[in-house]
Amino acid sequence: MALPAKPVCESAINDQTAIVFPNDINVIGTLYGGRAMEMADEVAAIVAKRHSGVTCVTLGIDSVRFLAPARHGDILIFKAAVNRVWRTSMEVGMKILADDFHTMQRKHIVSAYFTFVGVDANMKPVELPQVIPQTDEEKRRFEQADERRKARMAVAR
């Protein structure tokens, strides 16, 4: 039985924020990349759960790009949305922006793609509701997600 499809906007997060604290920074005063990815994984998991209604586990993260540093006090802004759903897995695109503590200038600091699998109580994959891309941007991301998946599958063979 096919589950009802949902539009991207129903589960997207566009303004989840966090502040960079002293425990988040490395010896050169910038945000640890691993800490950025930990926060991003949490936000992406929320998007996956909102979309699917089931427990979703991270299968992989790819095309991670650290584009600029964030520093102590900077305000991080997370933007995440379901790009595409296959039968039991989905891709969530992630963008992290940072507002500079002193100047409030905004910069793009991280981009990544998270693959999640929906699972039941026994950790067995379950069918997920499809996503409906509505805007031109969502449609572009929908098509590109399939290209990335094909590339991942080719490498996995």
Residue at 2 is within a domain = no
Cα 104 to its chain centre, rounded Å, is 24
> Side by side, which strands form the sheet with 75-85?
13-19, 75-85, 89-99, 106-119, 55-66
CB-based contacts of 36, cutoff 8 Å, min separation 6? 66, 70, 76, 96, 109, 110
Residue at 42 is within a domain = yes
CB-based contacts of 47, cutoff 8 Å, min separation 6? 11, 12, 13, 80, 81, 82, 92
Question: Look-up: residue for tokens 């599958």?
Answer: 153
User: Residue 157: pLDDT band by 50, 70, 90 thresholds?
Assistant: confident
Amino acid identity, position 53: G
pLDDT digits (tens, 9 = 90+) for 57-88: 999 999 999 999 999 999 999 999 999 999 99
Task: Print the domain residue range for 14.
Answer: 7-156
Residue at 1 is within a domain = no
* Count: domains in the chain: 1
Residue at 57 is within a domain = yes
Q: How many Cβ atoms from other residues are within 10 Å of residue 126's Cβ? A: 16
Give the per-residue pLDDT at 1: 56
pLDDT digits (tens, 9 = 90+) for 85-136: 999 999 999 999 999 999 999 999 999 999 999 999 999 999 999 999 999 9
Per the CB < 8 A criterion, the answer to whether 130 and 4 are in contact is no
> What's 127's domain CATH number?
3.10.129.10
> Which is higher by pLDDT, 154 or 113?
113
**pTM score over 0.85:** yes
Residue at 128 is within a domain = yes
pLDDT digits (tens, 9 = 90+) for 11-47: 999 999 999 999 999 999 999 999 999 999 999 999 9
Q: What are residue 97's DSSP bridge partners?
A: 77, 108
